[in-house]
Amino acid sequence: LDAAIGPDGMQSIAQASDMGRWWGDHPALVWTNDGYLWIPYSDNLKVVRQVRVNETSDDDMELLAYALWCLHQKFGYYD
């Protein structure tokens, strides 16, 4: 397999597997996931709304990532 896809392909596979059960698998599995994520509002990251995983947008994911970054900043994760 390594020779067939090359080092860049193997790096991509490794990165995908590190992303976790839903996000590292084939995209079709994400679209069949009807669970929920809590997505914060842009004007108040402490207030969230419930969104189905298979209905999240890029903007939703950006807000989620930003809120997590802010949370880790507050509790010293990046110190």
Tokens of 28: 């079709």
Backbone angles phi, psi at 78, to 5 degrees: -95, 10
Whether pLDDT at 54 is above 70? yes
Confidence of residue 34 (pLDDT cuts 50, 70, 90): confident
Q: Report pLDDT digits (tens) over 37-51.
A: 999 999 998 899 999
Provide the whole-model pTM.
0.57
Task: Return the number of other C-beta atoms located less than 10 Å from residue 21's C-beta.
Answer: 9
Question: 29 vs 1, which has greater pLDDT?
Answer: 29
